[in-house]
């Protein structure tokens, strides 16, 4: 009787061990869907990165019309105060990339170019004009063009664009962290990205 009990117990133990082994093998052979994991991370990164700035300037606008062999002239002028809100943005929804699951590589194919939006608030002071030389739509178009050209120069000399690129790199670094965590490789413009400074170099920051 004792032998039967021991034999039955041994059989039960063997069956339980076999069951546990099968479960372990099943867990061991299960694969992570890296493609979906990467896609999800890129979707989280894929957003509109916006950096804002404010610029001000004062412009004196003058124009003179002459008549009768320049014997008579009529001048118009105004003091113009400009306050402008400027945004530099990267729409990462437009970023193109390729996922090579076989070679465990993510390749960033293209990063959207920066978009600069200038929204000037233009106010006129000390306006002087005459009936023979009044302010017209053409004057306002010239002033707007001049204002935007001056602001573009100021933006180029400021840190606004570099700050925007820093924010861009911060977002792209999230993809780099993911690839390193998974043991994958991140590439951009034929170069392997090992660290954040590589992104800065490739983006010419």
Q: Residue 3 falls within a domain, yes or no?
A: no
Q: Residue 16 falls within a domain, yes or no?
A: no
Beta bridge partners of 90: 49
DSSP for 119-146, written as a single string: EEEEEEEEEE-BTTB---HHHHHHHHHH
Report pTM. Answer: 0.68
Candidate from 13-27, 101-115, 127-141 with smallest mean pLDDT: 13-27
Q: Residue 140 falls within a domain, yes or no?
A: yes
Q: In angstroms, rounded to a whole number, what is the distance separating the alpha carbons of residues 98 and 29?
A: 26
Q: Residue 113 falls within a domain, yes or no?
A: yes
Cα dihedral 100, 102, 104, 110 in deg (nearest 10): -10
Q: Residue 163 falls within a domain, yes or no?
A: yes
125-154, pLDDT tens digit by residue?
Answer: 888 877 777 888 888 888 888 888 889 999
What is the domain count for the chain? 1
177-203, pLDDT tens digit by residue?
Answer: 888 888 899 999 888 998 888 887 877
Q: In angstroms, rounded to a whole number, what is the distance separating the alpha carbons of residues 187 and 168?
A: 16
Q: Residue 144 falls within a domain, yes or no?
A: yes
Res. 13: pLDDT tops 80: no
pLDDT higher for 5 or 109?
A: 109
Q: In angstroms, rounded to a whole number, what is the distance separating the alpha carbons of residues 50 and 65?
A: 45
Beta bridge partners of 72: 67
User: Which residue segment(s) compose the domain that 142 sits in?
Assistant: 31-202
Q: Residue 6 falls within a domain, yes or no?
A: no
């Amino acid at each position: 009787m004792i032998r039967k009990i021991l034999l039955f117990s041994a059989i039960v133990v063997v069956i339980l061990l076999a069951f546990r082994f099968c479960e372990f093998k099943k867990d061991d052979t299960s694969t992570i869907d890296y493609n979906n994991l990467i896609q999800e991370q890129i979707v989280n990164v894929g957003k509109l990165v916006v950096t804002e700035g404010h610029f001000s300037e004062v412009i004196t606008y003058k124009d003179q019309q002459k008549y009768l062999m320049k014997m008579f002239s009529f001048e118009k002028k105004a003091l113009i105060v400009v306050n402008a809100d400027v945004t530099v943005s990267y729409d990462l929804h437009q970023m193109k990339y390729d996922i090579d699951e076989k070679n465990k590589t993510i390749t960033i194919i293209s990063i959207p170019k920066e978009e600069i939006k200038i929204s000037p608030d233009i106010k006129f002071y000390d306006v002087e004009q005459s009936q023979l030389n009044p302010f017209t739509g053409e004057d306002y178009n010239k002033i707007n063009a001049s204002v935007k050209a001056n602001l573009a120069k100021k933006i180029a000399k400021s840190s606004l664009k570099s700050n925007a690129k820093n924010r861009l790199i911060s977002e792209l670094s999230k993809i780099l962290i993911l690839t390193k965590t998974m043991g994958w490789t991140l590439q951009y413009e034929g170069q392997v990205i090992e660290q954040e400074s590589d992104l800065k170099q490739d983006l010419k920051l």
